[in-house]
Amino acid sequence: MRRTRILTAVLTLAAGLLAGSQLALAAPSAAEVTLAADTYTWKNARIDGGGFVPGIVFNRTEKNLAYARTDIGGAYRWQESTKTWTPLTDSVGWDRWGHTGVVSLASDSVDPNKVYAAVGTYTNSWDPGNGAVLRSGDRGASWQRADLPFKLGGNMPGRGMGERLAVDPNRNSVLYLGAPSGKGLWRSTDSGATWSQVANFPNVGNYAQDPTDTSGYSSDNQGIVWVTFDESTGTSGIATRTIYVGVADKDNAVYRSTDAGATWSRVSGQPTGYLAHKGVLDAKNGYLYLPYSDKGGPYDGGKGQLWRYATATGTWTNISPVAEADTYYGFSGLTIDRQKPGTVMATAYSSWWPDTQLFRSTDSGGTWTKAWDYTSYPTRANRYTMDVSSSPWLTFGANPSPPEQSPKLGWMTEALEIDPFNSNRMMYGTGATIYGTENLTNWDSGSQFSIKPMVQGLEETAVNDLAAPPSGGAVLLSALGDIGGFRHTDLAKVPSMMFTSPNFTTTTSLDFAETNPGIVARVGDLDSGPHVAFSTDNGANWFAGTDPSGVSGGGTIAAASDGSRFVWSPAGTGVQYATGFGTSWAASSGIPAGTGVQYATGFGTSWAASSGIPAGATVESDRVDPKTFYGFKSGKFYASSDGGATFTASAATGLPAGDSVRFKALPGTKGDIWLAGGATDGAYGLWHSTDGGATFTKLSNVEQADTVGFGKAATGASYQTLYTSAKIAGVRGIFRSTDRGASWTRINDDAHQWGWTGSAITGDPRVYGRVYVSTNGRGVVYGESSDTSGGGGGGTDPTPTPTPTPTPTTPTGACTVTYKVTSEWSGGFQADVKLSNTGTTAWAGWSLGWSFPNGQTVSQLWNAEYTQSGAAVTAKNVNWNANVTAGSSVSFGFTGNWSGTNGKPTAFKLGDQSCTVA
């Protein structure tokens, strides 16, 4: 279920956020390009979905153009040719991580190339930055940002209402945005570049989910929640006269302007006592449809109604499909069939049990039918069939008793849209996926319509931990928020099921035995039941352990290198150690009740409290010695040499004082430890110890670091490859080192940043260059290097020094260019260019030139500086990718404009010499 969504995001972020940090552009910026002489391809380890999709938006004038928004994982565009979703906001960087929360989307029906996104994750202190409106002229391939003087809440209560952002369908330079927190209604008259408050709008809203909440999360005023234009009251180029606005106020929910926003008034005769979640206008028949709930959602809602407002007469009609007394849910999702406007559908979004409900009317709400109904309780008759074979985990491994079914039709179903060009296609969002159908009208003929996931490409999990075993069938093990985690044996395929037996709502930590990776342990959160589980077959099957007294959450767990024992630092009680699989726990002496780490020996027939280490410490194991474990808490490092029974504090000083720290021990070498973390107001960076944590050396060339992980060594290197999410040489990114941190290569680019990546990182021990990166809402991202061998390295651990910027010279030797159009749409395209040094000497700076054959123009280019004169384009290196060694490559990408034909350039020159075109 999705009820833990809030906690997942907050807990994932709380450890690593940088309050008051300097913010960077969300869009790619040539001035911040940092890709070095290696090029990475980035993909997701496929899970497909995994999070709440509160909004789906179809363009009204172009067929097959649709967008989806997520609460913490960014925005997506539908790709009809592949039936997949393309992520659009991966360029959001670390310092503006809140802009991965999308509170609203708007697609311009006048110019379908234009799309807008209102972004910001929290309106309280959890998000230090203000919201913004992103605008794009190339369907989200690139963005410009207009900062707002207030916060927006993509992951706040009420996020399923909307859309809060709307483009005037007659004069598309005019947009409106409904703000939360009492900030009112805002308007732009220059296509989203600047915004000002509509000073005369009379109501800023007053509804809060829980006014007593001291965190500011549930107590925030949900504000202005939707904006709807009546397109029939305007003509092309002239602002639409009639605009409806929904307000989070149970007594005054709907307002209207009939003079293009000059004046506003409450719509008379409207229902009271409820919140209008949406306002959907059928301009052809003159009806405004409003789904009402007694709560703001997306989790809560106990009563609801559906109403229809006749725009010409002002008549309100209650068209609820069931009597109010029979509702135990609110209404939210609502859509009309633009091909057959009398056809209306709505959702019972907060019907958690036994299932959500979909309602359909073909007579403007006069009569309704349901997606399912009882024949004789608890037996159900469904108008639909469900096929989740593409995402089999959507059954959640459940085998419920009737009337509940598996898979469920959904929950939190606030997004519901019929394709405006295709009456048979409908999509709706749930707390875990996007479902859809392409034979919807079967509903009306009495036959069943088919529902299946329509979510491929949309990845929306919050990642807490990652592990890549050196052997066994599992390529990757993941600890995820809300849906527990997965065992990937093939990164390109959706796993058949998440971790079960038990099925944690959120997995907080996992670990495998380094020399016996068939043994795996995981810990997590569960409303009722054990918080620890074990596997003896590399994570394929699991069984539950037994909690010691007082455990309330997962915390962190470490497995001995040979799997003979485990150390667990759970929430709610102290650190424990267990024999084997922790089926029985016992408190030992020497530590107060309710504090300390727990440990187990053997196969967990008894657990005992560890001494010498505080409760809440992060724990890890040495990857060589099965008796050695480590811990960290509040600036202190701890070590145990007796299997976790006793810990001793290290004398090491200068480590981060807080608890935003992650550390790991290197496989194959006892006592080799890397520690990352800190905060901007104190120690922050990357530290290395070769003596089991007795002493640490801070790397001087790493300004900030939040994760550290290891992968297969480069060819010829005697030390494993290091990976980190860090700030180096003033640039935030994902970095790799093949020489123990002496030098670093940024392996992501400004188009691939994914917001906050501070939970976990690990290289692949079997594949050089492959790295797995955690995100907070974009799932598990992994990168594959174009360099399959890597650089040198090895030798003694040198004193780290920054890599100097090469002095540009004229490149000599052979070169090869690969030019690839990666995406193309009406009037626009995106392309990647790969420049390879196929000669025998290194380049210290480069300049690549070409001419477009059909008058194309570059609109934005990243990972290089560029100039264009007529058809001629020149792309030059920036500091980070100036040095290109023989046999390596550098890449950059751009978006551009075209008309008529989009032919590829046929000739490229590196300085004065021609390159081979591949």
Q: CA-CA distance, 298 to 159, in Å (whole number)?
A: 7
| C-alpha to C-alpha distance for 517 and 851, rounded to whole angstroms | 54
Q: CB neighbours (10 Å) of residue 316? A: 18
* Burial letters 15-36, b for 16+ CB under 10 A, else e: bbbbeebebbbbbbebebbbbb
User: Peptide bond preceding 548: is omega within 30 degrees of 0, i.e. cis?
Assistant: no
**What are the structure tokens assigned to 727, written together?**
């700030």
Could you tell me the CA-to-CA distances from 251 to 163, 268, 270, 315, 745 in Å, in that order?
A: 20, 11, 9, 18, 58
Q: SS3 of 53, please? A: coil
Closest CA to 140 of 756, 825, 858: 825
Euclidean distance between CA atoms 137 and 109, whole angstroms: 13
The amino acid that residue 451 corresponds to is I
Contact 665, 623 (CB under 8 A): yes
SS3 173: coil
Residue 134 exposure: Cα atoms within 13 Å on the Cβ side: 33
Helix or strand or coil: residue 212? coil
The whole-angstrom separation of Cα 498 and Cα 634 is: 33
Secondary structure (3-state) at 100: helix
| Bridge pairing between strands 287-293 and 745-746 | unpaired
Residue 220 annotated as catalytic: no
Q: Write out the E strands in 650-720.
A: 661-665, 673-678, 684-689, 697-698, 704-705, 709-711
For 380-418, give one letter per residue: b (16+ CB within 10 A) or e. Answer: bebbbebebeebebbbbeeeeeeeebebbbbbbbbbbbb
Q: Which residue in the list 38, 48, 71, 337 is annotated as catalytic?
A: 71
CA-to-CA distance for 320 and 526, rounded, in angstroms?
37
Spatial contact of 435 and 428, defined as CB atoms under 8 Å apart: yes
482 is catalytic: yes
Q: What are phi and psi of 39, to 5 degrees?
A: -120, 135
Max alpha carbon distance in the chain (Å)?
A: 84
**Are residues 472 and 519 in contact, defined by beta-carbon separation less than 8 angstroms?**
no
Q: Which of 38, 282, 482, 672 is catalytic?
A: 482
CA-wise closest residue to 331 among 421, 251, 258, 271: 271
Return d(Cα 15, Cα 281) in angstroms, integer.
Answer: 44
How far apart (Å, rounded) are the C-alpha atoms in residues 731 and 110? 39
Nearest to 822 by CA among 87, 49, 295: 87
Can you give the length of the chain in residues?
918
Quick one: tokens of 100?
């991965």
**827 CB contacts (<8 Å, ≥6 apart)?**
113, 897, 898, 899
Q: Which phi-psi region, left, alpha or beta, contains residue 623 (left: φ > 0; alpha: ψ -120 to 50)?
A: alpha
DSSP secondary structure letter of residue 11: H
DSSP lists the bridge partners of residue 500 as none
Residue 916, H or E segment: strand 916-917
Retrieve residue 855's tokens.
Answer: 């008058």
Q: Please list, in sequence order, all residues whose beta carbon lies within 8 angstroms of the beta carbon of residue 888, skipping any fewer than 6 positions away.
A: 37, 38, 787, 836, 837
- C-alpha 232: how far from chain center: 38
Catalytic residue list: 71, 482
